[in-house]
């Protein structure tokens, strides 16, 4: 089939000064802030408001849109795909990623990372998105019931078919990612290039400590989610739980509500209050922008995925771009003094003991 230029382009992409980074070791360049569809697009937000949020992102330099087959049982992909088509973005101007694991229907083969579900799930995701391909397809969770070789081969098949350009992982352990890389290398296949993980001021062990060896060895990248810690780092809960907040109205966030009555929760709120003071009085910005810029400051972060239920929320969060250059080493150290949760280095094997003469003793 001969290549044809897209003829229905309605709007030209302008980066608007958005910084771009490589997605891990790949050649794909992604904006430092991207837009995700979890809980919002296709869930709490449908119809024209979805199109308004995506257009606002695009107009502000965001051209990376992330979703998953599981989000709102497939409706996130449907709404995102519809909006992209109606807005008339040039396909080569945007980056779209989706994730495979849970599926949208019950059934023994309707989820997981079997070759069957990875391939069929990818085809169904493309149909919902109304796209011929996604740029990145993620394994949304590890699957202990499927041999890793089958997983690696399945995602390589998806890439070989032209349905995706790259594949990645989401909430995998460093050990599982390492295994996937070893198998890919031994079979001369394509290894995953990035991990989609939670990373924020109060969730740091995995992205900053466990993955340290992956950054050094493979230049692995992260596409972070929940960088506002499910809303805790917006500062809106500094003085209690507002009645119209999702902590008050959504039972799925009961675990966070419980934190308010625990000592650890009270300590966390006190830390957020201190950080909010710095954000407002020294940086002249919001706590949200401050927290998002902090994650983006990490050199291993490829992109920070933003969630938004309305355009104005997205615009406010993008003020993090103004905060980023203000995060000096001195300020980063002050943040650490407040958080007091910086992960230590990975343990290393202890060296053999020295004998009294200073010689190594073989044990």
The active-site residue, picked from 13, 71, 215, 237, is 71
Whether the Cβ atoms of residue 225 and residue 196 lie closer than 8 Å to each other: yes
Q: How far apart are CA 208 and CA 232, in angstroms?
A: 20
* Pairing, β 134-139 against β 164-170: parallel
Whether the Cβ atoms of residue 194 and residue 162 lie closer than 8 Å to each other: no
**Is position 71 annotated as part of the catalytic site?**
yes
Instruction: List strand residue ranges (DSSP E) for 244-300, in order.
Output: none
Alpha helix stretches (DSSP H) within 210-319:
212-218, 246-249, 254-259, 263-281, 287-297, 311-317
Whether the Cβ atoms of residue 174 and residue 207 lie closer than 8 Å to each other: no
User: Tokens representing 220?
Assistant: 């692995």
**Residues of 244-254 as b/e, b for ≥16 C-beta within 10 angstroms?**
ebbbeeeeebe
Closest C-alpha to 65, from 77, 48, 74: 77
Closest C-alpha to 94, from 191, 10, 192, 170: 10
Number of Cβ atoms within 10 Å of the Cβ of 195 = 28
Q: How far apart are CA 67 and CA 36, in angstroms?
A: 6
**Which residues are known to be catalytic?**
71
């Amino acid at each position: 089939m001969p290549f044809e230029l897209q003829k229905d382009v309605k709007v030209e992409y302008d980066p608007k000064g958005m910084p771009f980074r490589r997605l891990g070791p790949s050649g794909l360049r992604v904006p430092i802030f991207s837009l995700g569809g979890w809980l919002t697009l296709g869930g709490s937000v449908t119809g024209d408001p979805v199109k308004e949020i995506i257009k606002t992102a695009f107009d502000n330099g965001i051209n990376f849109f992330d979703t998953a087959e599981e989000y709102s049982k497939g409706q996130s992909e449907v709404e995102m795909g519809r909006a992209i088509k109606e807005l008339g973005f040039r396909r080569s101007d945007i980056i779209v990623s989706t994730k495979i694991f849970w599926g949208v229907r019950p059934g023994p083969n309707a989820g997981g990372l079997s070759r069957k579900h990875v391939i069929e799930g990818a085809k169904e995701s493309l149909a919902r998105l109304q796209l011929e391909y996604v740029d990145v397809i993620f394994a949304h969770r590890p699957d202990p019931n499927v041999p890793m070789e089958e997983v690696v081969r399945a995602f390589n098949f998806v890439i070989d078919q032209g349905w995706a350009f790259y594949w990645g992982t989401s909430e995998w352990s460093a050990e599982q990612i390492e295994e996937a890389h070893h198998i890919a290398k031994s079979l001369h296949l394509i290894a995953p290039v990035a991990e989609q993980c939670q990373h924020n001021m109060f969730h740091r062990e995995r992205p900053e400590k466990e993955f340290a060896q992956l950054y050094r060895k493979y230049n692995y990248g992260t596409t972070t989610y929940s960088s506002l810690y499910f809303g805790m780092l917006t500062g809106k809960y500094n003085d209690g739980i507002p009645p119209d907040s999702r902590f008050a109205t959504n039972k799925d966030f009961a675990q966070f509500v419980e934190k308010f009555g625990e000592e650890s929760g009270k300590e966390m709120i006190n830390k957020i209050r201190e950080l909010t003071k710095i954000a407002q009085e020294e940086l002249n910005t919001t706590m949200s922008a401050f927290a998002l810029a902090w994650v983006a400051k990490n050199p291993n972060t490829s992109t920070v995925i933003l969630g938004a239920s309305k355009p104005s929320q997205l615009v406010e969060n993008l003020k993090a771009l103004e905060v980023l250059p203000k995060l000096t080493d001195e300020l980063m150290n002050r943040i650490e003094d407040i958080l007091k949760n910086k992960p230590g280095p990975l343990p290393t094997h202890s060296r053999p003991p020295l004998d009294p003469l200073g010689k190594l003793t073989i044990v």
